[in-house]
Each structure stands twice: as C-alpha cells, then as structure tokens.
C-alpha cells in the first residue's frame, strides 16, 4: 500500500564500502523528486542517538558519485545494541517527524535495523553495502566489485616481483567470514590456491598443489588467504607451509584496509544508484523491513530476516574447482 511519508533519513553504518556515496546521492535525489524532505544521519546509528541528523537537498550530494568512503561517515555503534540507545534514537527521529529510514550497510547494520524496526514500528529499508558480499538476496553487495578490482590490481603487482624472484606469496584478503573476495580474486589473478572460510582445504592439499607447480617449473606461486579461514592468518599459514615445503623463498602481504577505499567501479556506481533509487521507491510504495538487492539483473526485495540468513547466501563454489584446474 502506498505510504504518504513526509520525511526520510538515510545513514551508512558498519565498514564503509565504495559506492555508498552513489547510493546516498540516489536516495536523497529520489526522495526530493517525490517531494519528500530528506535528511542525512551522521556516523550511522551513533548519529541517530546523538541527534546528528542534518537536512539535505539535491546539492548536498553534488559531485560525490565518484568518491570512495561515505560523506555521512560511519561507525560500528555498540550503544545502539542497548535498549536505552535505541529509545534515544527513536525519540530523535520522532522529534523530526522522520517516518522512513534507509540504512546502507552489512549484516551488523541489518541486525540493528531489524530490531529497531520491530520494536518501534519504523519504516525501514536496507541497502546491502559491504565489500564482503555476505548477504542473501543480492548477487552483489555495494563495494564488492570495487574491492575485487583493487585486490586484483595489487596481486598483479605482487606477481611481477614474485615471478622475478621465484617466490611464493601468501596474500591475505578481507571478507570476515565470507570467502567471496578471495575466491573471485583467485580466479582473476590466476592464483595457485585459495583458502576460504566456507570450504576446507587442508594444509596437506595446499602443499601437494604447490609441489606439483614447482615440479612443472612454475616460477612463482600465489596463495590467497581469506582472513576468516580456519588455519589462521597469512603469516601463520606461511610459517606452517614453509616448514614442509622449502622450494621457494616465502613472503607474506596483508592487503588490509586499502581494500575498502578508492573510487567506486562503474559497476558499483550503477549498483549504488539503482539500489538507492529502489530503496526510496520501496518506502513510498509502503514496504518496510526489506532489503533491496540485485538478483540476476533485476531489483528484488528480500526481508531483512532472510537477507541475514547466511544459509541462503551462496558461495560460487564452481569457481573453486576452476581455480584449481586453471592454475596447474
Ligand atoms: O565488513 C567489512 C570488513 O572490511 C571486513 O572484511 C573486515 O573483516 C572488517 O570489515 C574490518 O573491520 P574494521 O574496519 O572495523 O577493522
């Protein structure tokens, strides 16, 4: 049922992701186009609690489409997990008569939005914004594509030096409990192996694979280590492998937070624009407690509850077998 919302606010929360600014721009301008008063909340849920909520117009979001990070800033807000924090947040929204909320973020953001929406009956729509790509109901989350491109660029550079020195590199990538970044970048960079949180590759299997490469005169090898895999960080794994496989000189690179920064790719600019536009249209159409996502090439709504169900999110496991075969 169509809703007569007057005032809509948008916030970004959790880890920043490239494309968030494109999404903020789309939310603000779509709302204004439909005659709504638009607000930006600074620093995620912390800004709701602190009443750091500012009016925004079409010009507040000029020239941000290409920028990484988030102009609204972001935070991981512990106070919002408490009843007192949520109550204050609700009071501040009520005071400004804000009747619709768009939250851009990952699983922590959606968990907060779900509790908040259920308790205070707020109209809330989530936009999947995280480089981890670990939400169900969207093939891609905002920032994932840019992060992949950033990692690939870095690995290409490491490959140059690895090859020149005949070295074995362990490269650690982000993703928390999700191996999505690791898996896609492994394919795109021709990595010899990849260690994921979702699938177990034993160190024995890894060493067998590296030995096979060395025996067929591979000059360098690259192993991508997803930070959430069960054998630990890249330094630990490199140490364990080195003990049993001395063929190469071994080096470690932790890519870290550079994976979250940078100008969004064309894909993420378009995705951010589509999702922001769809989020406001969904609110106006009377939807709430839903996430807007990209499914195939269409925008689809998924309940926040289903979006958070990691059993529904699919790792592209065919890529794992393919990486193994293509890197012989
Ligand atoms: O969720 C995004 C993410 O970049 C994860 O990949 C990573 O584990 C985490 O955030 C790092 O968080 P922080 O910036 O708080 O250290």
Instruction: Give the model confidence (pLDDT) of 274-318 as tens digits.
Output: 999 999 999 999 999 999 999 999 999 999 999 999 776 778 989
pLDDT at 4: 86
Q: Residue 8: exposed, middle, or buried by beta-carbon count in 10 A (0-12, 13-18, 19+)? A: buried
- Span from the CA of 268 to the centroid of ligand 1 (angstroms): 18
Query: Of all atoms in ligand 1, which is nearest to the CA of residue 259?
Result: 4
- Structural domain spans, the chain: 7-143+264-312, 145-260
Low-confidence ranges of the chain (pLDDT < 50): none
Q: pTM of the predicted model, to two decimals?
A: 0.97
pLDDT tens string 16-36: 999 999 999 999 999 999 999
Token pair 């077998």: residue = 321
What is the distance between the alpha carbons of residues 107 and 223, in angstroms, rounded to a whole number?
28
Residue 4: HSE in the Cβ half-sphere, 13 Å Cα cutoff: 0
- Span from the CA of 174 to the centroid of ligand 1 (angstroms): 7
Q: For a substitution probing ligand 1, which of 15, 75, 105 has the most ligand atoms within 8 Å of its CB?
A: 15
Q: CATH fold of 145-260, please? A: Rossmann fold (3.40.50)
- Is residue 16 part of the annotated active site? The answer reads no
pLDDT tens string 59-85: 999 999 999 999 999 999 999 999 999
- CATH top-level class of 7-143+264-312: alpha beta
Token pair 């936009």: residue = 127
Q: Which residues are annotated as a binding site?
A: 15, 25-29, 76-77, 106-109, 130-132, 159, 167, 174-176, 190-192, 218-220, 227, 251, 257-260
- Which residue(s) pair with 99 in the sheet? none
Does ligand 1 have an atom closer than 6 angstroms to the CB of 174? yes
Does ligand 1 have an atom closer than 6 angstroms to the CB of 106? yes
């Amino acid at each position: 049922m169509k809703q007569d919302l007057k005032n809509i606010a948008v916030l970004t929360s959790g880890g920043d992701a490239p494309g968030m600014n494109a999404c903020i721009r789309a939310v603000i301008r779509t709302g204004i186009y439909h005659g709504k008063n638009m607000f930006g909340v600074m620093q995620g849920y912390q800004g709701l609690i602190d009443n750091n909520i500012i009016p925004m117009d079409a010009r507040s979001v000029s020239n941000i489409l290409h920028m990484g990070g988030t102009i609204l800033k972001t935070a991981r807000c512990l106070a919002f997990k408490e009843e007192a924090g949520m109550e204050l947040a609700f009071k501040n929204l009520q005071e400004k008569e804000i009747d619709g909320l768009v939250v851009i973020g990952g699983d922590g953001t959606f968990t907060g939005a779900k509790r908040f929406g259920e308790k205070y009956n707020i109209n809330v729509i989530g936009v999947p914004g995280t480089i981890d790509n670990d939400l169900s109901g969207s093939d891609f989350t905002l920032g994932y594509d840019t992060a992949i491109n950033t990692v690939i660029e870095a690995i290409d550079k490491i490959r140059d030096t690895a090859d020149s020195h005949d070295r074995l590199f362990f490269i650690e990538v982000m993703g928390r409990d999700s191996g999505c970044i690791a898996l896609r970048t492994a394919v795109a960079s021709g990595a010899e192996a990849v260690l994921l949180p979702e699938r177990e590759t034993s160190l024995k299997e890894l060493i067998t694979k590296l030995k096979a490469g060395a025996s067929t005169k591979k000059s360098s090898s690259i192993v991508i280590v997803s930070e959430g895999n069960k054998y630990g960080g890249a330094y630990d794994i490199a140490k364990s492998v080195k003990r049993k496989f001395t063929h190469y000189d071994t080096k470690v690179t932790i890519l870290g937070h550079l994976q979250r920064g940078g100008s969004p790719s064309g894909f993420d600019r378009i995705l951010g624009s589509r999702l922001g536009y769809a989020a406001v249209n969904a609110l106006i159409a009377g939807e709430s407690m839903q996430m807007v996502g990209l499914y195939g090439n269409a925008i689809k709504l998924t309940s926040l509850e289903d979006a958070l169900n990691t059993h529904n999110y699919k790792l592209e496991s065919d890529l794992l077998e393919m990486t193994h075969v293509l890197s012989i």
